[in-house]
Amino acid sequence: MPRWVRPEVYPLMAAMTFVTSMCVFQLTRNISMNPDVRVNKAHRTMGVLENHDEGQKYAEHGLRRFLRTRPPEIMPTVNSFFSDTK
């Protein structure tokens, strides 16, 4: 085993791997699905894009729609345990 890979380094490597994968995911999502990013030459020549439906679809993704129906609590069971006056 190399010298710099010690057991103390594993949590740091796990955190950095997670953060790096989240960055790659977000960059890939933006370049492939964001309506404001223009990769091909035909879209770059257009001054103003009229794509409100595509922008709305990008902004209102599935996770956001799901979370909109949920209560804004992180741990509802713990919150109800300490806030109920029964």
Q: What mean pLDDT comes out for the span 47-72?
A: 82
Domains in the chain: boundaries: 9-37+50-83
20 pLDDT band, cuts 50/70/90, is very high
Does 11 or 61 have the greater pLDDT score? 11
User: Does residue 40 register a pLDDT over 70?
Assistant: yes
What is the pLDDT at residue 19? 97
Tokens 């955190």 -> residue: 15
User: Does residue 52 register a pLDDT over 70?
Assistant: yes
Percent of the chain with pLDDT over 70: 90
Please give the structure tokens belonging to residue 68.
């909109």
Q: Judge contact between 58 and 33, C-beta under 8 A.
A: yes
What is the pLDDT at residue 47? 67
